[in-house]
Structure 1
């Protein structure tokens, strides 16, 4: 599944969450894997209502990131950087941080940027994308 060092590989994963726009789940090149922002949709029930609240939505987004990484033979331990988007930044930032933090060991937190936005696809409260690196 790894891309040669001199090519880009576009991953659209049948087991991944249903895309909400025209994109690949991930693009890989030179050992780097860039994941599209994940939404709090349930891959097993993509038309189901979103989970209620930022904590539940953050957990679902992180599980979706874990799912995509897993399909590529990676895990959250390979994540180098995350970009996080919150529609209710001031209201949700602290609760988001607590939930997000629970997915990483304290000594292996990825670099991160968190941005407040006016809206996200599917009416989500949170979206996260990330960059991972293959070991080796």
Structure 2
């Protein structure tokens, strides 16, 4: 698979671990991961934003592994935050998980299905 990050010079530059666009060529498979919620496999909701965010990324990782992929396959991330006050903590925890990987990314402040969930994350991966 050939992957290129694209950041047009005549448009705003990304701020914080993402690319404005990601081009993927010669891929064999796409994986669309539904919004992962901050629940453990035994239906426990961690307390606080940081614990919930880390759980969401554990859940994303579990779905990728079940499909035979890793985080290096992620090309697009969409994050839904229940409160914009979590923006900086979200960026930090997401960066901890993604490391140097810079997928295309969108963050939306939204009402989330369950009022106890402080975020939800969906990803698209390719190989």
Give the TM-score range, shorter chain.
Answer: 0.7 to 0.9
Matches of residues 1-136 of structure 1 in structure 2 within 5 Å? 31-43=29-41, 45-46=42-43, 48=44, 50-89=45-84, 91-106=85-100, 108-121=101-114, 123-134=116-127
Greater RCO (Cα-Cα under 8 Å, separation 6 or more): 2
Q: Which has the higher strand share?
A: 2
CA displacement at 1:118 relative to structure 2: 2.1
In the alignment, the residues of structure 2 paired with residue 72 and residue 121 of structure 1 have an alpha-carbon distance, to the nearest angstrom, of 27
CA displacement at 1:119 relative to structure 2: 2.7
The ranges of structure 1 where at least 4 consecutive aligned residues each deviate by more than 3 angstroms after the TM superposition are none
TM-score (norm 1): 0.69
Structure 2 unpaired stretches of 5+ = 1-27
Structure 1 unpaired stretches of 5+ = 1-29
TM-score (norm 2): 0.74
CA displacement at 1:61 relative to structure 2: 0.3
CA displacement at 1:122 relative to structure 2: 6.1
Aligned length: 100
